[in-house]
Structure 1
Amino acid sequence: MQIVLCDDADHAAREAAKWVQALLVQKKRPVLGLATGTTPICLYQQLIRLYQQKQISFASCTTFNLDEYFDIAPEHPQSYRSFMQHQLFNHVDIDRQNTHLPVCFDGQNPRRVGLEYEQRIAAAGGIDLQILGIGSNGHIGFNEPTSSLASRTRLKTLTAQTLSDNSRLFVPGEIQPTMAMTMGIATIMDARYVLLIATGKAKAEAVRQMVCGPVSAYCPASILQMHEHAIVVLDKDAASLIAEQQYLRVAEKENQRMIEMYGLQFIADREV
């Protein structure tokens, strides 16, 4: 697990954007896993800026989102499809037909929907880089505590903590979904690289458990300790409970030196 310590949320977004930029520039047909929520918004703003400066293009990119609320229309303002349109897709040159979310409506078999989503990911060649946030309870995607570490895309019931954390995004009287389709933990672990971004003190304890705690279904994000290429980008507040920060800064300095010498070529090395 590579830990990147940043001064603030904007700095974290800039650092994260470097990894996405490398993927888009170096891969002919990049497959990018996307996340929703407030944390990745700054990252998407950075990517839009890079696109406007003609440093990146999404024209040949295929995307798969981590999750989508159950039984919500894509055009609904609270859908994650609407979020992605507003925060990224409408501002770059991506082909909408190449953007995918695990949409499931009432009356559809969620197991079949989940299997079909897994098959679409496989048909695209697998996810090269999966962007992640982390919930205050340690969830990634909507894989809540006690989720199977071997889980695949499926329908999940959201915890009271997650509903409370997300309630600020809904206006009074608006129905807040209590279930969602989500990539499973094993699906996320199949990505060649994962890029988790966490900012703010509200995420500090979850980050500590993810980085320093045991691998456990009670902190689903802790499974990233087992990923070969996991990059964790943190601001000062999110990293505040992690010990050995002096060592992490020294290690990151050496990592940056290697990047300056050789670039982010490891992504290109996997081009087929």
Structure 2
Amino acid sequence: MVKYEQVVIVGVGLLGGSLGLALRNRQLARRVVGVGRSPSRLEQAIQLGAVDDGTPDLKSAVATADLVVMCSPVQSIIGSLEDCLSSTRALVTDVGSTKVSICERASEILGAASTSQMGRFVGSHPLAGSEKVGVQNASGDLFVDRTCVLTPLPETPAADVDELRLFWEAVGSRVLQLSPAEHDKSIACTSHLPHILASALAGTTPDELLPLAASGWLDTTRIAGGNPQMWQEIIAENREAISAALQSYSDELTRWLAAIDAGDDQSIHQMLVQGKEQRDSVGS
């Protein structure tokens, strides 16, 4: 069943391309339009079937949209929000990995609007992705059985939240709802901290030891292969929560170091058991 006449995806990379494929494969939109600065990348997205058409003109694209999903990096989303919201009456959402700054900017724009001819905004963050980038790595099943977090503001109409919940469920996601601040604090622990740890491990492993790197090292450092510029922006937008998560992890490492130095095998065993049980509880 077609749910939307036209969905506009701003930024047709891995996430945007995967969303376009999901919409087209599931026949959820009659037309999917990609917005981007690179004509060659837009043409690639068209050839791969992720979008029906592409344009560099954000304002004209969103003017006739039923739904707009902003899939560019966080700081780009913030910079484009005013042009987007002022050029459409559609529901606008995003896939940014941090939510406070994006949602605050949207609230400022909508609160200062002198006309009702504006878009509506609800933040979202699908917990899906890969260390790979680009529409060439997109998958129409990327969001299946993945959690998507919605981050409405207190003034957000319930109807807008319900519409966005149904949208993400339609592409296969499980939907949760948090405040923007709760989201950023939580994701600092479960997404941003792991990336920093993976990067630190990869970056501090001496070259001469790399021939000995087996599955444990490779599995642990896989996400360090992500886009450094994108991750620098994510960290910049969530410094306080990430710093707190790093401090908590540092305290845990201190306990490990003390147990190892003391030969406290019982404590080491307890910490290993705790880690295994926690990891086993989330499945594969």
TM-score over 0.5 for the alignment?
A: no
Where is the helix percentage greater, Structure 1 or Structure 2? 2
TM-score by length of 1: 0.30
Q: Which one scores higher on RCO, CA 8 angstroms, separation ≥ 6?
A: 1
TM-score by length of 2: 0.29
